[in-house]
Amino acid sequence: MPIQYYIGLAIALFCIGVVGVLIRRNAIIVFMCIEIMLNAANLLLVAFSKMHAALHPTVANAGIDGQLFVFFIMVVAAAEISVGLAIIVMVYRNVHSIDVNFLNRLKN
Q: Is 78 in the site for other proteins (CB under 8 A)?
A: yes
- Residue 87 in the binding site for other proteins (CB under 8 A): yes
Bridge partners (DSSP) of residue 99 are 26
3-state secondary structure of 26: strand
CB of 58 to other proteins, least distance (A): 10
Q: How far is CA 73 from the centre of its chain?
A: 9
What is the rounded radius of gyration, in angstroms, for the C-alpha atoms of the chain? 18
**61 counts as binding other proteins under rule CB under 8 A:** yes
Chain residues 25-54 in contact with other proteins, contact rule CB under 8 A: 25-54
For residue 107, state whether it binds other proteins (rule: CB under 8 A). no
